[in-house]
Chain A
Amino acid sequence: MSSSATASSVPVERTGIETIVDEAIAAAPDCLRRRVILPAIDWAAVSPAKVALLLSTLAQSRLTVPRWLSKLLLVAGHALPEDLERTLSPGLVALNRINGASASQKRGELSGMLPALCADDQLEADVATVLVQKFAALGWEEEAVRLALAQRHRAPVILKRAGKAVTAHVDHLPEVRLRLIGTSTTQTLADEFKPAFAAIGWRADVTQADFGTLLANLMRPPEGADAHVVLLDLDGFAPQDWRRSASDASDLLAERVNHLAAALREFTAHSQAPLLINTIPVPAAPAAGFLDRSHALGARRAVDLINRHILEAAEQSKQIIVIDADQALASLAVRDQSDAKLWYYGRIAYSADAVRLLASSFAEAWGLLKRGPAKVLAVDFDNTLWGGVYGDDGVEALACGEDFPGNAFRALQAECLRLRQQGMLLVALSKNNPDAITAFQRHAGMLLQADDFAATAINWEPKPENIRKIAAELNLGLDSFVFLDDSPHEREAMRRLCPEVSVPEMPADPAERPLWLRRLTCTWPLRLTAEDEARAVLYATRREAESAKASAANFEDYLKGLEQHLAVSHVNTATLPRVVQMHERTNQFNLTTLRSTEADISALIQSEAQGLALVGRVRDKFGDHGLVIAATVAIDGSEAAVQSLLMSCRVIGREVERAFLGALIDDLKRRGVTRVSGDYIATRKNAMVKDFYASCGWQPAGGDGERTSWVFDIGAMEPPRSQFVTLDWEA
């Protein structure tokens, strides 16, 4: 980024700049000490000969090239002498190798460095971006894609630098069909799913449910999804109405939450697919100051309540995985987790950075579900479970215990015990004489004991061979092994010879390892105890037995509890603009997709005998949904024809449409109409209403191709009604 910015800066006299550069190089030692001028030079425009001159000038003054200057030179495309590499970060070392002569022959070497670069959380955004760009330019597509996907959080633009290779790579991955439902706009998350799932080896094919249809979608989950994802946010899920009293608001929230919990349970009765849902993160600002977490009107208290119910519902099902949003977003300050203007602009609840992190968490949850948590932790001894080398230093000298620095190693042993308690098997994999196992007993600071290990391979054989033997012994696949070793060479050998084994990049600093291990997703359990497991099975069988009748009853209870009111009125000058807008925008619940204009509708309703335009407003106990359903009908004596009938997806699945059609027929009857006809015209998006007329008791009356026609005999047939919708006529 910096290179492109400077490379193209204001066109000042070339010779002038060149003079300054020459002077700066001549005065390099002084410039370096004061850190002036050199940082401002566009090194991409300086010849390699001059850079060499700069380096030799510095060497003559016995000055080492500082990291900042190395970085500037490397990002600008220059190569540095190899002896400078020891001062460089891994990213810069890789860049130096690529900038150097015969880069194209170093693919193997750079591939070996790749896992470390991918896992490097210190890799600077510009360095990562340049690396990906160079990989892509050399035609090393796999390396470019892997690094770009791994480092996309640090530098979002990096994926674009990898170019078409990303698309090609993603095309070859197995597909996962995701159904995304949200209480806010889900598009930004849908977009971010592509790289997030690609990073764990899946091609995400995302369909998004309509805004506002969360409960309906959970209770009646559509077929054909491998996983359902629910994106929750506080304002979308539980908007505040400050006219309500505290107790009223509290009741309403409790009810919303109960509906959600019931819908989650309902979901598991209808679908076998996993459901991934996030908790709501800490609110961006308190609604009740210091009382926010305790008072009924507190935002944080609402969040706590909602989350607790989600977690309880999830506990009863193996299918539901809850993403702890506070953990997922922990690297972002709360104020950076949302961007207010995006909320007002497009009801986007989370900032770009937050969406990226959430997408990764959802993807990792999916990956963990598919792969299953790892079962075996294979650990090295020297400089992993203890500090020092058993064979060289002797057992007394090993660092492990209550005091610094042995306490960091002891803490890693504690983490191994944690994983053991969570059901993983521990395996010792050490290049040592077999008596190294006695160190656990002979050294007072050790937390682990020899019998904590389910199997051991302590010898001088290659570790990949040992791990294969142990896998056979334990009768487990290599893909259920995680291998922890401080040596990059051992890790590299394991990756090459046993690619199925998970070989994470353990941090070089022992102090970072215990928490790093906690963050290592492949070791995360999906369920903790046998009782959990048994309980889940119990729930599942009980649910299956009851699901059919219970779910119907639950859904009816839900609809009844909504206390829906449909206020129907004739379209007038006040409601006409909204009705026209609905004609323009509605695609799914739209029988004919007729894009009527203001003039069309005005002309139609000029006289009562000629036509009819109805609009319905829906209100329920949670609030007013506004004008959501409309129809236009042409009347000719005793015959009428529905021209358009459409509804906003916000209220789909609640029988509003039945009640509305009933009201429409009533109105036509009052006008002396005895027979009404209507068409369904298929489009790419309106399949959901294909059988709408049939479900309301209309008779088929032929059709052709995209069009099916239906009729309703007003004298002889009973108009559709809904017991869940109270109908009111408005003037």
Chain B
Amino acid sequence: MDALAPTALSYPDLAAIFADIFQYTEPLTAETSADDIATWDSLQHIALIRTLEMTYSIRLSMDEMMEIRSVGDIENVLRRHGV
């Protein structure tokens, strides 16, 4: 749970999600993207989408699935869903 230390994130759960899915425990910023995380491949991307859907009780579209390449993208999408 150390990953939940104060960050600038609007959605602090993302740190735990990134730790679970990508084993990525560095501090997250809006700029953290698929390029920074080696384990963020096309398959783990599916796991990420699924986890976001479950955690926030939303349904993401195909466009959003493509749009999400970074933490900032996720935050934008979540904001749009009124999370």
| Chain A residues engaging chain B, CB cutoff 8 angstroms | 1, 4-5, 7-9, 11, 156-157, 160, 187-188, 191, 340-342, 344-346, 348, 352
Contact = CB atoms under 8 A, between A and B. Distances in A.
A455 B50 CA distance: 52
A462 B60 CA distance: 57
B20 A346 contact: no
B13 interface: yes
Contact of A4 (B13, B47, B54): B13
B12 interface: yes
B8 to A, nearest CB: 12
Contact of A341 (B1, B4, B20, B61): B61
B1 A346 contact: no
A188 B41 CA distance: 13
Nearest to B16: A4
B49 to A, nearest CB: 8
B29 interface: no
B62 A11 contact: no
B42 A346 contact: yes
Given A8-B12, A341-B60, 4 more contacts: A157-B51, A188-B43, A341-B61, A345-B62
Contacts of A160: 20
A7 B61 contact: no
Contacts of B42: 345-346
Contacts, number: 39
Interface string B42-76: 11001100110011000011100100000000000
Contact of B4 (A7, A11, A187, A342): A7
Q: Which of A7, A11, A348, A352 has the most CB of B within 10 A?
A: A352
B7 to A, nearest CB: 9
Contacts of A352: 46-47, 50
B56 to A, nearest CB: 10
B46 to A, nearest CB: 6
A269 B42 CA distance: 38
A11 B6 contact: yes
A4 B1 contact: yes
A187 B55 CA distance: 23
Q: Which of A156, A187, A191, A341 has the most CB of B within 10 A?
A: A341
Nearest to A9: B12
B62 A346 contact: no
A188 B13 CA distance: 24
A355 to B, nearest CB: 10
A27 B4 CA distance: 32
Contacts of A5: 13
Nearest to B62: A341
A157 B46 contact: no
Contacts of A11: 6
B4 A346 contact: no
Interface in B1-57: 1, 4, 6, 12-13, 16, 20, 42-43, 46-47, 50-51, 54-55
B62 A1 contact: no
A280 to B, nearest CB: 22
